[in-house]
Amino acid sequence: MVDNLEQDQEIDLEEERVLDAIAAELPGISRDVHQLIPVLQKIQHIHGYLPLGSIGMVAAHFGIPGAKVFGVATFYNQFRFNPPGRHPIKVCLGTACHVKGGEIILENFTRRLGIEEGETTKDREYSLERVACVGCCALAPVVVVGEKIESYVTPSKVEGVITEIEIQNEIAEREKAKDEQQSDSE
Partner 1 sequence: MSSNPTPSELLSELTQAAEKQWQALQNPAVPVIYVGHATCGRAAGSQETIDGFRDALAEKGIEAEIITVGCLGHCYAEPLVTIHYPGFPPLMYQKVGAGEARVLVNSFLQGGEDPCFEYLLGALEPNDTFPTLMDYPRYLYEKRVIMDQCGLIDPHSLDHYLAVGGYQALAKALEKGDKWVVEEIKSAHLRGRGGAGFPAGIKWDIARQAEKTPKVVICNGDEGDPGAYMDRTLMESNPHQVLEGLAIAALAVGASRAILYIRAEYPLAVSTIEDAIAAAKEHNLLGERILGTDFSLEVSVFQGSGAFVCGEETALIQSIQGNRGMPQYRPPYPAVEGLDGLPTVINNVKTLSTVPSIVRKGSHWFKAIGTEKTPGTAIFSVVGDVEYPGLVEVPMGVSLEHLIFEVCGGIKDGKPFKAVQIGGPSGGCLPESELSTSIDFDSLRQAGAMMGSGGMVVMNDETCMVEVARYFIDFTQHESCGKCTFCRIGTRHLLEILTGLTKGEGSDDDIAELQTLSEETIIGSLCSLGKTAPNPVLTTLRFFKDEYLAHYREHRCPALMCRDLIAYYIDLDACARGCDACVACCPTEAIFTTSNRKKAIDQEKCVKCGECVYACPPEYDAVFKVSPPEMIPDQGIKPLDEKKEENNE
Partner 2 sequence: MSKDVMVTLTVDGLEISVPRGTKLLKACLDNGIYIPSLCYLDGMDHPPASCRLCLVEIEGRPGPLPSCSQTVEDGMVVHTETDEVRLLQKTAFRLLVSTNDGKCRLCMANKHCEMQKIAKFLHMPLRTKKLRHIPKDMPEVIEEHPCIVYEPNKCVLCGRCVYICSQQNYDFALDFAKRGFNTTISFFGSREEGVGDYCRNCRACVDICPVGALNLKDERDAFLQNLQAKISA
User: Pick from ligand FES, partner 2, partner 1, none: which does 155 bind, CB < 5 to 8 A by kind?
Assistant: partner 1
Report which of 80, 76, 82 is spatially closest to residue 121, judged by C-alpha positions. 82
Amino acid at 152: Y
Angstrom CA distances, 140 to 30, 69, 113, 133, 168, stand at 42, 36, 22, 10, 26
Task: Note whether 136 binds ligand FES by CB under 6 A.
Answer: yes
**How far, in Å, CA of 162 to CA of 125, rounded?**
11
Helix axes 36-47, 2-25, angle to 10 degrees: 140
Among 7, 20, 31, 38, binds partner 1 (CB under 8 A): 38
Among 26, 97, 145, 161, binds ligand FES (CB under 6 A): 97
User: Pick from partner 1, ligand FES, partner 2, none: which does 11 bind, CB < 5 to 8 A by kind?
Assistant: none
CB of 172: closest distance to partner 1 in angstroms?
22
Residues that bind ligand FES (CB under 6 A): 92, 94-97, 133-137, 140, 142
